[in-house]
Structure 1
Amino acid sequence: MYITVKQAAEKWGISDRRVRILCSEGKISGATREGRSWMIPSNAKKPQDGRFKATESLLAAIDRKKRELDARRPLTAGELERLTEEFIIEYTYNSNAIEGNTLTLRETDMVLRGLTIDKKPLKDHMEAVGHKEAFDFVRDLVKKQISLSESIIKQIHYLVLADKREDRGVYRRVPVRIMGAKHEPVQPYLIQPKMEQLLETYRNSTDHIIPRLAWFHIEFEGIHPFIEWKRMRKYVQNPFSENHASKTNL
């Protein structure tokens, strides 16, 4: 007596696709193929899952890898300079490219070295330079272990939004809507109290740094404090994560 792939999937608590893969790999004894369908003996036993399964939680794995990284420190001045230079170039390029910047990776490198790219918009140049300035600013915050505040957030926004002077470093003063989303960001008069509450709740949290940052990011997105702010979201979390790492040696 035989059962179908669907019946086997329901019996074993796995997906139809997984059953077909097991059949094609010959891991289900007695399974035969008839046309496009597999016929599986009703008394066939569910094969053991030989796929990799993590033996530790994701957060534990992150902590372990961070300890392994710290064990290889300190880096030499040359190593640190080389890694930092490569990181900021790729970080700037990838971050701006997502938002429509037309500079290539090589052109981004050239702009950060003070050169101008022919036939490329001034806006793209300013975005790259502003991104680099914001990165350097955040690195300085980390070195001094300065906690994130509303003032710091506005300063980061001011640096990143180099091409839109009127909106730099100030909370939005008009309501906004996110196209295609049900969520409606808070009204302008609620932005400051919501930001104060967000920062206070974060400071008082004792959760692991990763879920804390994830929660902060979601709440920050929901408030949507600036008119234009996509390019600076990633910077907001860096002082949090880096300062936490330096204080707790994670």
Structure 2
Amino acid sequence: MINRATWERLDAVIEEYQRTAARHPEALAQIALAELAESVQQSNAIENSTLTLDDTERILSGTMPAGRRQLREVYEAKNLAAVTEDMLSSGDDLSLALILRWHGMLLAGIRDDVAGRFRRGDEWVRVGSHLGANPAFVADLVTEALARFQADRSMRPLELIAWFHCEFETVHPFVDGNGRIGRVLINKQLQDIGWPPVIVRARNRQLDYYPQLEEYSKTGSHHGMTRLLVLLVLESLHKRITLVTSRRVIALADWARACGVSGASATNKARRQTIPAFRLRDRWMIDADFG
């Protein structure tokens, strides 16, 4: 469970972010576009793509990455970027039609035979020891989850987003692309409540992401996913507030040395978001004047 102090801290940072957003809407839009390649690369890396951030940036700029790369991975980068850009610019309500449209865009040219539709017939999927829902009931299960998400007022918005993500991934409604669409939906849901998008990182997925999905599939508890999203939202908020309001941003390691703080301690504080640090190109950064 998330303690009251953490919720209060999140609420306070959101209030600061909303004041910043009201004054600098264009800056925030540009930040979201600037992190597009990193968001795409990290989400694809969770699904074991070998593309680096440099590769992804080259692909999205219209050139091919250096070295030999699988054509599928190139399509994955382009397609996920198109879905993410559509999510950022679209004012469409979250619906089954929107989810299916994004899935069609994601798998276009990759798996056209399954793009834009839920699993059906004998299309069973397995991730490790987890078996996705029976294909015969997938459409109904996603419909019910979406209806609950839109009607449930018993949870805080971020708790509800965490629950929906866990339920969506447990059902695993598609033959392919479940994780990437699920993470786009997290950001769509955040966007709809006026909060910035987050980046679920690939590096520690075996420690802080997959275990939360496994916990839900075994126990029905989404508390672990909620804790992860709280940290990711705080980081995204700190990033935007800092980039828009700070004179200079420096590496966290440099800040730690200047403040006489050990690098390990500073990194631990950043991971727990008890200081307003954030990652750029997977490197922890902070306002040079913080503290």
User: TM-score under structure 1 normalisation?
Assistant: 0.68
Compute the displacement of 1:99 (Å): 1.8
Amino acid at match of 2:161: L
How far does the alpha carbon of each residue in 1:49-94 deviate from its partner, in whole angstroms, 9 at most, with x for none?
A: xxxxx994322222211111111223264x3464233310111111
Structure of larger gyration radius: 1
Compute the displacement of 1:135 (Å): 0.4
Instruction: Pick from 53, 63, 68 the counterpart of residue 119 of structure 1.
Output: 68
Amino acid at match of 1:153: I
Task: Report matched runs for 1:53-202 at 5 Å.
Answer: 56-73=4-21, 74-75=23-24, 77=26, 79-80=27-28, 82-117=30-65, 118-141=67-90, 144=91, 146-162=92-108, 163-173=110-120, 174-181=122-129, 184-202=131-149
Compute the displacement of 1:147 (Å): 2.2
Equivalent residue, structure 2, for 1:234: 183
Aligned-pair Cα RMSD in Å = 2.4
Contact conserved, 1:59 with 1:210, CA < 8 A, in 2?
no
How far does the alpha carbon of each residue in 1:143-199 deviate from its partner, in whole angstroms, 9 at most, with x for none?
A: x2x321111111111122232211111111124253543x54322221122122111
State the secondary structure of the residue aligned to 1:172: coil
Contact conserved, 2:133 with 2:172, CA < 8 A, in 1?
yes
CA distance in 1, matches of 2:132, 2:25: 46
Q: Which is worse superposed, 128-137 or 228-237?
A: 228-237
CA distance in 2, matches of 1:216, 1:111: 31
Q: Which is worse superposed, 233-242 or 171-180?
A: 171-180
How far does the alpha carbon of each residue in 1:86-129 deviate from its partner, in whole angstroms, 9 at most, with x for none?
A: 31011111111222222221121111011122522211111110
CA distance in 2, matches of 1:83, 1:179: 34
Equivalent residue, structure 2, for 1:205: 152
Looking at both structures, which has the greater relative contact order when contacts are Cα pairs under 8 Å and sequence separation is at least 6?
2
Contact conserved, 1:156 with 1:235, CA < 8 A, in 2?
no
Equivalent residue, structure 1, for 2:247: none
State the secondary structure of the residue aligned to 2:35: helix
CA distance in 2, matches of 1:153, 1:199: 10
CA distance in 1, matches of 2:186, 2:3: 29
Amino acid at match of 2:35: F
Identity of aligned residues (%): 24
What 5-or-longer segments of structure 2 have no aligned partner? 196-236, 238-291
Amino acid at match of 2:98: I
User: TM-score under structure 2 normalisation?
Assistant: 0.59
Compute the displacement of 1:238 (Å): 2.1
Compute the displacement of 1:138 (Å): 0.8
CA distance in 2, matches of 1:211, 1:55: 13
What 5-or-longer segments of structure 1 have no aligned partner? 1-53
Contact conserved, 2:123 with 2:175, CA < 8 A, in 1?
no
